Amino acid sequence: MMSIHIPPYITFSKNVFVPVTNICKNRCGYCGFRRDFSNPEANVMTPDHVEILLEKGAKNNCTEALFTFGEPDNTPEFREILKNIGYSGFIEYVMDLCQMAIDNGLLPHTNAGALCYADLRRLKPLNASMGLMLETAGEVDAHRNSPGKDPCIRLETIDNAGRLKIPFTSGILVGIGETWDDRIESLLAIRKLHERYGHIQEVIIQNFIPKPNTLMSDLMSPSLEEMQKVVAIARALLPREIAIQVPPNIVSIGSLVACGASDLGGISPVTIDHINPESRWPSLDEIRSMVGDVELRERLPIYPPFVKAGWYSSSIEKLVKGYSDENGFRAK
Protein backbone atom coordinates (compact mmCIF):
# COMPACT_ATOMS: atom_id res chain seq x y z
CA MET A 1 0.00 0.00 0.00
CA MET A 2 1.27 3.45 -0.89
CA SER A 3 1.23 5.87 2.02
CA ILE A 4 1.51 9.65 2.00
CA HIS A 5 0.46 10.80 5.45
CA ILE A 6 -2.35 10.50 7.93
CA PRO A 7 -4.34 13.77 7.88
CA PRO A 8 -4.93 15.46 11.25
CA TYR A 9 -8.70 15.17 10.74
CA ILE A 10 -11.32 13.92 8.29
CA THR A 11 -14.11 16.24 7.21
CA PHE A 12 -17.67 15.59 6.07
CA SER A 13 -20.94 17.45 5.70
CA LYS A 14 -24.52 16.51 6.49
CA ASN A 15 -26.73 16.87 3.48
CA VAL A 16 -30.06 16.11 1.94
CA PHE A 17 -29.65 14.63 -1.55
CA VAL A 18 -32.11 16.09 -4.08
CA PRO A 19 -32.02 14.38 -7.53
CA VAL A 20 -33.94 17.08 -9.42
CA THR A 21 -34.18 15.11 -12.67
CA ASN A 22 -32.89 11.85 -14.09
CA ILE A 23 -33.43 13.00 -17.68
CA CYS A 24 -30.09 13.47 -19.43
CA LYS A 25 -28.71 13.98 -22.93
CA ASN A 26 -25.65 11.86 -22.09
CA ARG A 27 -25.68 8.08 -22.44
CA CYS A 28 -22.69 7.06 -20.34
CA GLY A 29 -21.89 3.37 -20.47
CA TYR A 30 -21.82 3.04 -16.67
CA CYS A 31 -24.80 5.17 -15.59
CA GLY A 32 -27.75 3.56 -13.84
CA PHE A 33 -29.36 6.91 -12.92
CA ARG A 34 -30.41 8.22 -16.34
CA ARG A 35 -33.86 7.50 -17.76
CA ASP A 36 -35.26 7.98 -21.28
CA PHE A 37 -38.45 9.97 -21.79
CA SER A 38 -40.17 6.70 -22.74
CA ASN A 39 -39.36 5.23 -19.33
CA PRO A 40 -42.13 5.77 -16.77
CA GLU A 41 -39.41 6.43 -14.15
CA ALA A 42 -38.18 9.50 -16.06
CA ASN A 43 -39.09 12.56 -14.02
CA VAL A 44 -38.47 16.09 -12.86
CA MET A 45 -39.15 16.52 -9.15
CA THR A 46 -41.99 18.90 -8.37
CA PRO A 47 -41.48 21.86 -6.03
CA ASP A 48 -43.72 20.21 -3.43
CA HIS A 49 -41.62 17.04 -3.45
CA VAL A 50 -38.39 19.03 -3.16
CA GLU A 51 -39.79 21.06 -0.26
CA ILE A 52 -40.65 17.88 1.64
CA LEU A 53 -37.05 16.66 1.33
CA LEU A 54 -35.62 20.04 2.32
CA GLU A 55 -37.82 20.19 5.40
CA LYS A 56 -36.66 16.70 6.41
CA GLY A 57 -33.06 17.75 5.94
CA ALA A 58 -33.49 20.83 8.09
CA LYS A 59 -35.23 18.83 10.84
CA ASN A 60 -32.34 16.34 10.85
CA ASN A 61 -29.62 18.92 11.42
CA CYS A 62 -28.34 19.03 7.83
CA THR A 63 -26.61 22.13 6.53
CA GLU A 64 -26.34 21.22 2.85
CA ALA A 65 -28.90 20.78 0.10
CA LEU A 66 -27.19 18.81 -2.67
CA PHE A 67 -28.95 19.41 -5.97
CA THR A 68 -27.79 16.96 -8.59
CA PHE A 69 -29.14 15.86 -11.94
CA GLY A 70 -28.21 14.85 -15.43
CA GLU A 71 -27.69 17.28 -18.27
CA PRO A 72 -31.16 17.62 -19.78
CA ASP A 73 -31.36 18.83 -23.36
CA ASN A 74 -33.73 21.63 -24.30
CA THR A 75 -36.08 19.29 -26.16
CA PRO A 76 -39.84 19.84 -26.66
CA GLU A 77 -40.52 16.94 -24.29
CA PHE A 78 -38.41 18.43 -21.52
CA ARG A 79 -39.86 21.91 -22.04
CA GLU A 80 -43.33 20.42 -21.71
CA ILE A 81 -42.43 18.83 -18.36
CA LEU A 82 -41.09 22.16 -17.11
CA LYS A 83 -44.17 23.97 -18.37
CA ASN A 84 -46.37 21.62 -16.36
CA ILE A 85 -44.64 22.68 -13.14
CA GLY A 86 -44.71 26.34 -14.08
CA TYR A 87 -41.30 27.03 -15.65
CA SER A 88 -39.97 27.90 -19.09
CA GLY A 89 -36.31 27.13 -18.33
CA PHE A 90 -34.44 24.61 -16.19
CA ILE A 91 -31.91 27.02 -14.68
CA GLU A 92 -34.78 29.25 -13.51
CA TYR A 93 -36.28 26.23 -11.79
CA VAL A 94 -32.97 25.28 -10.14
CA MET A 95 -32.55 28.86 -8.94
CA ASP A 96 -35.95 28.74 -7.27
CA LEU A 97 -35.08 25.41 -5.64
CA CYS A 98 -31.86 26.90 -4.30
CA GLN A 99 -33.85 29.77 -2.82
CA MET A 100 -36.27 27.25 -1.32
CA ALA A 101 -33.33 25.51 0.34
CA ILE A 102 -32.08 28.80 1.77
CA ASP A 103 -35.57 29.58 3.08
CA ASN A 104 -35.47 26.21 4.85
CA GLY A 105 -32.12 27.00 6.45
CA LEU A 106 -29.96 24.91 4.11
CA LEU A 107 -26.93 25.91 2.05
CA PRO A 108 -27.25 24.84 -1.60
CA HIS A 109 -24.53 22.95 -3.43
CA THR A 110 -25.51 22.50 -7.07
CA ASN A 111 -23.88 19.83 -9.21
CA ALA A 112 -25.41 20.89 -12.50
CA GLY A 113 -23.28 19.30 -15.20
CA ALA A 114 -21.51 21.43 -17.79
CA LEU A 115 -22.81 25.02 -17.67
CA CYS A 116 -21.96 28.20 -19.52
CA TYR A 117 -20.54 31.26 -17.79
CA ALA A 118 -23.91 33.06 -17.78
CA ASP A 119 -25.74 30.20 -16.03
CA LEU A 120 -22.97 29.78 -13.47
CA ARG A 121 -23.16 33.50 -12.78
CA ARG A 122 -26.91 33.27 -12.19
CA LEU A 123 -26.53 30.34 -9.80
CA LYS A 124 -23.54 31.67 -7.89
CA PRO A 125 -25.35 33.98 -5.41
CA LEU A 126 -27.70 31.15 -4.42
CA ASN A 127 -25.01 28.52 -3.79
CA ALA A 128 -22.44 28.02 -1.06
CA SER A 129 -20.43 25.92 -3.51
CA MET A 130 -20.88 24.10 -6.80
CA GLY A 131 -19.35 21.11 -8.50
CA LEU A 132 -18.63 19.22 -11.71
CA MET A 133 -16.74 15.96 -12.00
CA LEU A 134 -14.17 16.12 -14.76
CA GLU A 135 -14.25 12.28 -14.68
CA THR A 136 -11.40 11.99 -17.18
CA ALA A 137 -9.42 14.19 -19.52
CA GLY A 138 -9.02 11.20 -21.83
CA GLU A 139 -11.32 9.85 -24.51
CA VAL A 140 -13.08 6.66 -23.38
CA ASP A 141 -15.69 4.43 -25.01
CA ALA A 142 -17.96 4.96 -21.99
CA HIS A 143 -18.46 8.58 -23.10
CA ARG A 144 -18.92 7.87 -26.82
CA ASN A 145 -22.59 8.93 -26.73
CA SER A 146 -22.20 11.64 -24.10
CA PRO A 147 -21.61 15.09 -25.59
CA GLY A 148 -21.61 16.72 -22.17
CA LYS A 149 -18.62 14.59 -21.11
CA ASP A 150 -16.28 16.22 -23.61
CA PRO A 151 -13.27 17.10 -21.39
CA CYS A 152 -12.85 20.49 -23.06
CA ILE A 153 -16.43 21.45 -22.23
CA ARG A 154 -16.10 20.32 -18.64
CA LEU A 155 -12.76 22.05 -18.12
CA GLU A 156 -14.28 25.23 -19.53
CA THR A 157 -17.05 25.01 -16.89
CA ILE A 158 -14.46 24.58 -14.13
CA ASP A 159 -12.49 27.49 -15.57
CA ASN A 160 -15.58 29.71 -15.63
CA ALA A 161 -16.34 28.79 -12.02
CA GLY A 162 -12.86 29.98 -11.13
CA ARG A 163 -13.36 33.26 -12.97
CA LEU A 164 -16.53 33.74 -10.92
CA LYS A 165 -14.81 32.81 -7.61
CA ILE A 166 -17.19 29.92 -6.92
CA PRO A 167 -15.90 27.44 -4.30
CA PHE A 168 -15.78 24.32 -6.42
CA THR A 169 -15.65 20.53 -6.34
CA SER A 170 -14.28 18.38 -9.13
CA GLY A 171 -12.93 14.87 -9.39
CA ILE A 172 -12.11 11.81 -11.46
CA LEU A 173 -13.96 8.55 -11.98
CA VAL A 174 -11.61 5.58 -11.76
CA GLY A 175 -12.16 2.47 -13.85
CA ILE A 176 -14.20 3.67 -16.84
CA GLY A 177 -11.58 2.76 -19.44
CA GLU A 178 -9.09 5.56 -18.80
CA THR A 179 -5.33 4.99 -18.69
CA TRP A 180 -2.92 5.91 -15.90
CA ASP A 181 -1.72 8.75 -18.09
CA ASP A 182 -5.33 9.95 -18.39
CA ARG A 183 -5.65 9.97 -14.61
CA ILE A 184 -2.50 12.01 -14.15
CA GLU A 185 -3.47 14.38 -16.98
CA SER A 186 -6.90 14.88 -15.37
CA LEU A 187 -5.42 15.73 -11.98
CA LEU A 188 -2.88 18.08 -13.53
CA ALA A 189 -5.63 19.86 -15.49
CA ILE A 190 -7.58 20.46 -12.28
CA ARG A 191 -4.41 21.62 -10.53
CA LYS A 192 -3.65 24.07 -13.33
CA LEU A 193 -7.08 25.71 -13.00
CA HIS A 194 -6.75 25.90 -9.22
CA GLU A 195 -3.34 27.52 -9.53
CA ARG A 196 -4.96 30.14 -11.75
CA TYR A 197 -8.02 30.89 -9.60
CA GLY A 198 -7.64 29.20 -6.18
CA HIS A 199 -11.22 27.92 -6.24
CA ILE A 200 -10.98 24.12 -5.96
CA GLN A 201 -12.08 22.96 -2.50
CA GLU A 202 -11.83 19.23 -3.06
CA VAL A 203 -11.11 16.61 -5.68
CA ILE A 204 -13.17 13.42 -5.51
CA ILE A 205 -11.48 10.12 -6.30
CA GLN A 206 -14.47 7.91 -7.05
CA ASN A 207 -14.39 4.28 -8.06
CA PHE A 208 -16.55 2.94 -10.88
CA ILE A 209 -19.31 0.62 -9.66
CA PRO A 210 -21.00 -1.59 -12.30
CA LYS A 211 -24.75 -1.08 -12.54
CA PRO A 212 -27.33 -3.60 -13.84
CA ASN A 213 -28.70 -3.02 -17.33
CA THR A 214 -25.82 -0.78 -18.43
CA LEU A 215 -23.22 -1.31 -21.13
CA MET A 216 -20.54 -1.77 -18.46
CA SER A 217 -22.50 -4.01 -16.11
CA ASP A 218 -20.08 -6.93 -16.57
CA LEU A 219 -16.91 -4.98 -15.84
CA MET A 220 -15.06 -5.07 -12.54
CA SER A 221 -14.65 -2.17 -10.14
CA PRO A 222 -11.07 -1.02 -9.61
CA SER A 223 -9.30 -2.88 -6.85
CA LEU A 224 -8.61 -1.34 -3.48
CA GLU A 225 -4.90 -1.38 -4.29
CA GLU A 226 -5.58 0.59 -7.47
CA MET A 227 -7.69 3.12 -5.55
CA GLN A 228 -4.93 3.50 -2.96
CA LYS A 229 -2.46 4.27 -5.71
CA VAL A 230 -4.75 6.86 -7.35
CA VAL A 231 -5.43 8.60 -4.03
CA ALA A 232 -1.71 8.69 -3.24
CA ILE A 233 -0.91 10.14 -6.67
CA ALA A 234 -3.66 12.74 -6.28
CA ARG A 235 -2.32 13.76 -2.89
CA ALA A 236 1.19 14.06 -4.31
CA LEU A 237 0.11 16.11 -7.34
CA LEU A 238 -2.48 18.46 -5.86
CA PRO A 239 -1.80 21.43 -3.55
CA ARG A 240 -2.28 20.71 0.16
CA GLU A 241 -5.19 23.12 0.44
CA ILE A 242 -7.26 20.88 -1.86
CA ALA A 243 -8.93 18.05 0.03
CA ILE A 244 -8.95 14.57 -1.45
CA GLN A 245 -12.46 13.20 -1.07
CA VAL A 246 -13.47 9.52 -1.16
CA PRO A 247 -17.06 8.23 -0.93
CA PRO A 248 -17.49 6.29 2.32
CA ASN A 249 -20.41 4.18 1.08
CA ILE A 250 -18.72 2.61 -1.96
CA VAL A 251 -15.05 2.17 -1.02
CA SER A 252 -13.01 1.08 1.99
CA ILE A 253 -12.03 4.45 3.41
CA GLY A 254 -9.65 3.44 6.19
CA SER A 255 -6.73 2.54 3.95
CA LEU A 256 -7.44 5.50 1.65
CA VAL A 257 -7.10 7.89 4.57
CA ALA A 258 -3.64 6.42 5.07
CA CYS A 259 -2.91 7.36 1.44
CA GLY A 260 -3.94 10.98 1.84
CA ALA A 261 -7.75 11.13 1.64
CA SER A 262 -9.10 13.75 4.04
CA ASP A 263 -12.79 14.22 3.24
CA LEU A 264 -15.85 11.96 2.97
CA GLY A 265 -18.21 14.30 1.17
CA GLY A 266 -21.86 14.66 2.06
CA ILE A 267 -23.42 12.01 4.28
CA SER A 268 -27.19 12.12 4.48
CA PRO A 269 -29.30 11.11 7.48
CA VAL A 270 -32.51 11.39 5.42
CA THR A 271 -31.87 10.44 1.77
CA ILE A 272 -30.10 7.64 -0.06
CA ASP A 273 -27.24 8.05 -2.51
CA HIS A 274 -29.42 8.24 -5.63
CA ILE A 275 -26.44 7.63 -7.93
CA ASN A 276 -25.46 4.47 -6.00
CA PRO A 277 -28.77 3.49 -4.37
CA GLU A 278 -27.53 0.01 -3.50
CA SER A 279 -24.83 1.47 -1.22
CA ARG A 280 -26.12 2.84 2.07
CA TRP A 281 -24.46 5.69 3.95
CA PRO A 282 -22.44 4.45 6.93
CA SER A 283 -23.27 5.94 10.32
CA LEU A 284 -20.79 8.26 12.00
CA ASP A 285 -20.00 5.53 14.52
CA GLU A 286 -19.19 3.16 11.67
CA ILE A 287 -17.00 5.81 10.04
CA ARG A 288 -15.13 6.39 13.30
CA SER A 289 -14.36 2.68 13.49
CA MET A 290 -13.04 2.80 9.90
CA VAL A 291 -10.70 5.77 10.38
CA GLY A 292 -9.40 4.84 13.82
CA ASP A 293 -8.02 7.65 15.93
CA VAL A 294 -8.31 10.33 13.24
CA GLU A 295 -10.68 13.09 14.34
CA LEU A 296 -13.92 13.65 12.42
CA ARG A 297 -14.90 17.27 11.80
CA GLU A 298 -18.16 18.43 10.29
CA ARG A 299 -17.91 21.18 7.70
CA LEU A 300 -20.33 23.15 5.58
CA PRO A 301 -20.61 22.67 1.79
CA ILE A 302 -18.30 25.71 1.60
CA TYR A 303 -14.93 24.74 3.03
CA PRO A 304 -13.42 26.58 6.04
CA PRO A 305 -10.78 28.58 4.09
CA PHE A 306 -13.49 29.93 1.79
CA VAL A 307 -15.72 30.74 4.76
CA LYS A 308 -12.89 32.72 6.33
CA ALA A 309 -12.11 34.43 3.01
CA GLY A 310 -15.75 35.48 2.55
CA TRP A 311 -16.36 33.63 -0.72
CA TYR A 312 -20.14 33.73 -0.32
CA SER A 313 -22.96 36.06 -1.24
CA SER A 314 -25.23 38.18 0.90
CA SER A 315 -28.04 35.73 0.09
CA ILE A 316 -26.44 33.04 2.25
CA GLU A 317 -24.29 35.16 4.56
CA LYS A 318 -26.59 34.76 7.56
CA LEU A 319 -26.65 30.97 7.21
CA VAL A 320 -22.89 30.65 6.69
CA LYS A 321 -22.10 32.80 9.71
CA GLY A 322 -24.73 31.10 11.82
CA TYR A 323 -23.51 27.59 11.05
CA SER A 324 -19.75 28.14 11.17
CA ASP A 325 -17.36 28.49 14.10
CA GLU A 326 -14.38 30.82 14.25
CA ASN A 327 -12.34 28.43 12.10
CA GLY A 328 -14.99 27.95 9.42
CA PHE A 329 -16.09 24.45 10.48
CA ARG A 330 -19.60 23.54 11.59
CA ALA A 331 -20.24 25.10 14.97
CA LYS A 332 -21.08 22.54 17.64
Q: For 161-198, how does the pLDDT look when each residue is reduced to its tens digit (9 = 90+)?
A: 999 999 999 999 999 999 999 999 999 999 999 999 99
Task: Give the pLDDT of residue 74.
Answer: 87
| Percent of the chain clearing pLDDT 70 (strictly above) | 98
Are the C-beta atoms of 312 and 26 separated by less than 8 Å? no
Q: How do residues 247-296 score in pLDDT, each as one tens digit? A: 999 998 989 999 999 999 999 999 999 999 899 999 999 999 999 889 99
Please provide the CATH number assigned to the domain covering 9-322.
3.20.20.70
How many Cβ atoms from other residues are within 10 Å of residue 103's Cβ? Answer: 11
d(CA 231, CA 204): 9
Rounded to 5°, the CA angle 207-212-218 comes to 70
Contact 32, 214 (CB under 8 A): yes
42: region left, alpha or beta (phi > 0 left; psi from -120 to 50 alpha):
beta
pLDDT, position 8: 86
* pLDDT of the residue at 265: 96
Assess contact for 129 and 299: CB atoms under 8 A: no
Instruction: Give every CB contact of residue 41 below 8 A, 6+ residues apart in sequence.
Output: 22, 35
pTM for the model stands at 0.95
Tell me the pLDDT tens digit for each residue of 6-65.
678 999 999 999 999 999 999 999 999 999 888 999 999 999 999 999 999 999 999 999
Report how far residue 88's alpha carbon sits from residue 220's, in angstroms, rounded to the nearest whole number. 42
Per-residue pLDDT, averaged over 117-123, amounts to: 98
Say if residues 170 and 205 touch (Cβ distance below 8 Å).
no
User: Are residues 1 and 258 in contact, defined by beta-carbon separation less than 8 angstroms?
Assistant: yes
Given a contact cutoff of 8 angstroms between Cβ atoms, the answer to whether 263 and 11 are in contact is yes
* Sequence-ordered list of residues with C-beta below 8 angstroms from that of 1, at least 6 positions apart, any chain: 225, 228, 255, 258, 259
Burial class (CB in 10 A: 0-12, 13-18, 19+), 42: middle
Segment 121-161, tens digit of pLDDT: 999 999 999 999 999 999 999 999 999 999 999 999 999 99
* 176 closest CA partner among 229, 234, 226, 232: 226
Domain boundaries, the chain: 9-322
pLDDT of amino acid 7: 74
Q: CB neighbours (10 Å) of residue 260?
A: 25
- pLDDT at res. 332: 79
Contact (Cβ atoms closer than 8 angstroms) between residue 116 and residue 78 = no
